[in-house]
Structure 1
Amino acid sequence: MSTSTTSFRHLFVYGTLLSVSKHPIAEFLRRNTQLVGPGFFPGRLYDLGTYPGAVFNPEADSFVHGEIYFFPEPALKNQKLLRTLDDYEGDEYDRILVPVQTANGFIQCWTYVFNQPTESFPRIFSGRFFR
């Protein structure tokens, strides 16, 4: 997982960390960041059971929809926050920077992309985990 957070203070979420989620880590995220608003990136979303997995692909003709959060705290606290999220996401995901489209242009955001084969998982064609 990437660890540098000095320049990038946005996180894009698309699953159990969305603002509608009641998951304790989603509540932790809301307490420690500021919701910016909706966004999307090119890729595909898969149903992994109780949570989704996204694959970023700049050439995709479909999108993964979610929300952007801003880290208002200094870099050291942001690193602790990201380490907590890294632990939550586990080995199935890599934290990478992706350009996320918003109503006002693009924002470079950290996001967690699924790093396992996707052939056995159903695709979520809407690109939205919570409908």
Structure 2
Amino acid sequence: MEAQLFVYGTLMIGVESRMAGLLKRNSTWLGSAYISGELYDLGRYPGAQWIPGHSNKVYGQVFLLEDPDFLMPYLDEYEGIDPQFPEAGEYVRKLVTAVLEDHGQTVDAWLYHYNFPTDQLVRIESGRYLDYYRQKPAHLEFIRTG
């Protein structure tokens, strides 16, 4: 089974987290990409919501997973998805449309979609986590220890 994953936060190239390393070792980077939606600061890490047709963008990267059956359970656990109740967690895994920035090609990719209300959250207006997290001590600590 072939699977692609759109990442927008602590799993991106440029973030030195343990799980980003696991993803890089077990996938092929396809390029920088974006989805329609909103990006939020959840306190120590980001959360994105895919909103088809929305004018705002969330910027990230797309990876082709070499062995999704091996890798997805680790990523699901990292994202707090309970296999018994996958719709009840902070994130749900959704198949979305991402646009590769270099060629404008669209690809179907899995996304860890933030599953809770956002009205009390700070929106990351740029949609770019790589430009945002370095000024946030709580994010840096989570990346270092998470």
Q: Do the two structures share a fold, i.e. TM-score over 0.5?
A: yes
Aligned length: 121
Counterpart in 2 of 1:111?
111
State the shift of 1:59 in Å. 2.7
State the shift of 1:50 in Å. 1.6
Counterpart in 1 of 2:72?
82
Pairing partner for 2:8 from 7, 11, 14:
14
For 1:52, give the aligned amino acid: P
Counterpart in 2 of 1:35?
29
CA distance in 1, matches of 2:119, 2:45: 16
Give the TM-score of the pair, scaled to structure 2. 0.79
> Is the partner of 1:40 in helix, strand or coil?
strand
Counterpart in 2 of 1:123?
123
For 1:129, give the aligned amino acid: Y
Give the TM-score of the pair, scaled to structure 1. 0.88
CA distance in 2, matches of 1:128, 1:31: 23
For 2:59, give the aligned amino acid: H
Contiguous gaps of at least 5 residues in structure 1: 1-5
Contiguous gaps of at least 5 residues in structure 2: 81-88, 132-146
CA distance in 2, matches of 1:59, 1:70: 24
Deviations 1:96-121 (A, max 9, x none): 11110113310100110000111111
For 2:36, give the aligned amino acid: P
CA distance in 2, matches of 1:59, 1:10: 21
Deviations 1:74-127 (A, max 9, x none): xxxx12200110000012101111110113310100110000111111001100
CA distance in 2, matches of 1:80, 1:120: 36
CA distance in 2, matches of 1:129, 1:42: 15
CA distance in 2, matches of 1:19, 1:49: 21
